[in-house]
Amino acid sequence: MEELLEKLLRSGPVYIFGSRGKLLEVLAMLRRLGIGVPIILQQRTYHLAQVGQKYGMNSPPYLSPTSKEGRMAKSNTHIALYHTGAKTYIRGEGYRITLSGWEVIHPWRQTSERDFILALSDHSDFEELLEYVERCSPQLVITDNYRARNGQTLASQIRGNLRIEARAMP
C-alpha cells in the first residue's frame, strides 16, 4: 500500500473505497506509514473513527468532509476514504483504489488509467483471531469446523495457548 500511495500521491488526490471496517484498518495503517497529506473520511466513517479512538484505536489526524478544513483539503492532494457504495459518485481528478479480499495474485494491480485494486483481506488471520478471543475473555468458544475443517486446530490453540474452553463444531 505504501508503494502505491507514494506513486499516486505525486499526481493528485487518492480515493480509497472499501467496507467501513477495512477503511478503519487502512486509517490505522496510514498512521504507521506516516502519510503526510490530509486524510478525509466520509461522514459515517468519520463517526466510527471517533468511536474507535475513544476505545484506543491509534489513527492519524483525519478530517470530516463537511468541516471547513475538510472542504479546503479537497482542493489539494489528499487521501479520502469512502464506503464502497460511494464509488459511483466520486468522479473527477485523482486516483481510485478499491480494497479487495479477492485480489490474491498481486498486492495491487491497475485496472484502468486511474483505477487500482489493492489486496486487503476481509478476514482476520490466525493471530488476530487468537487476540480477539483473548480480549473477549469468553467462558466457551465454538469454532466453525464445517467448511475448511480448520476449526479443530483453532479450538486446540485456544485451549492450549489461552486456557479457554473451546470446541469445534460440527
Q: Find the domain containing 31 and state its range.
A: 2-119
Looking at the structure of the chain, the number of domains it has is: 2
- 64 lies in the same domain as 113: yes
Give the rounded distance of the alpha carbon of 134 from its chain centre: 21
Pairing of strands 79-83, 39-41: parallel
Whether residues 48 and 95 fall in one domain: yes
- Each residue of 140-163: pLDDT tens digit? 999 998 877 789 999 999 999 999
pLDDT score of 102: 81
CATH number, domain containing residue 9: 3.40.50
pLDDT band at 109 (very low <50, low <70, confident <90, very high): very high
pLDDT tens-digit series, residues 18-44: 998 899 989 988 988 888 899 999 999
